Amino acid sequence: MTSHDRPLQGQLLDWRRSISGQVAMGWLLAEGLRSSLAQLGWHPTSGSARAPGLDDLVAELAFLASASTSALDEALDQAWSAQAPQGSDLALEPPTELEREARLSIVAAATVRRVAQAALGATSCMSGAPEVVRVERAAVELLAFGSASSATVPLHRDGLRLYGRDEEDLVSEVAGIGARLLCDWGGGVTLGTSDGRSLEIRARGDQLVVRRSWAHEDPARWDSPVKLSLFGSKVRDILHDELGTSCGRGLVVTTSA
């Protein structure tokens, strides 16, 4: 029997199982990445290898996985109840409910990719030991999580939020931004202040370019291979010395293709 032969009710349940499984898998992969970072010496609030927002992002995924599972359980309960005739083609939930679950899956996938970006920011400040390289490769693969192909999902599609509370957090966050833009082979992020000044980070292939809106000079360039920890430190110094900010939370952030 093909999927076209099954009652619509059964097809909807299969679809909802797939959504719930995808969200749960995303949470599990994010937990695994966080655990691997902890084994490498990462700590959420101290040390040289920071990953600002990582705990918050994994907690968000746990919530989304729980919400998705609860919605599926409710659908199964209704399917197995005697309220609907056996073999009925009636949908169990109105379309708006299915759309809500689809959006939940999209949000979860974007959150997994943000976890991967945070992990790349942390590993950029670690040594090049084999175990660090393994975590980096896993994080790069997760940048394609939820994609219909094996290609990474561009940063501008997910948007960006900065979580850092101090200068060391900012180094890691900027390093993670740089890593993701390089994986995208393009795209940009603008970090601005309330007075209208801004600093743009843009990838051009395997090169990172930084342009200051208030400066009348050629943009700074980092050629491949980019040492992301040094890149993050340099951008942090510019933001601190020239814009007077020491953490990412006070910045106005925009992304672009």
Alpha carbon 140 to its chain centroid, in Å, reads 11
Residue 215: CB atoms within 10 Å: 13
CA distance 49 to 135: 13
pLDDT digits (tens, 9 = 90+) for 20-54: 889 999 999 999 999 999 998 876 655 557 899 99
Domains of the chain: which residue ranges? 1-153, 154-257
Sign of the C-alpha dihedral, residues 204, 218, 244, 224?
positive
Query: How is residue 165 annotated by DSSP?
Result: -
Sign of the C-alpha dihedral, residues 27, 28, 29, 35?
positive
Helix axis angle for 167-184 and 95-123, nearest 10°, is 110
- Residue pair 248/162 in contact by the 8 Å Cβ criterion: yes
pLDDT digits (tens, 9 = 90+) for 129-184: 999 999 999 999 999 999 988 789 999 999 999 999 899 999 999 999 999 999 99
CA distance 202 to 24: 33
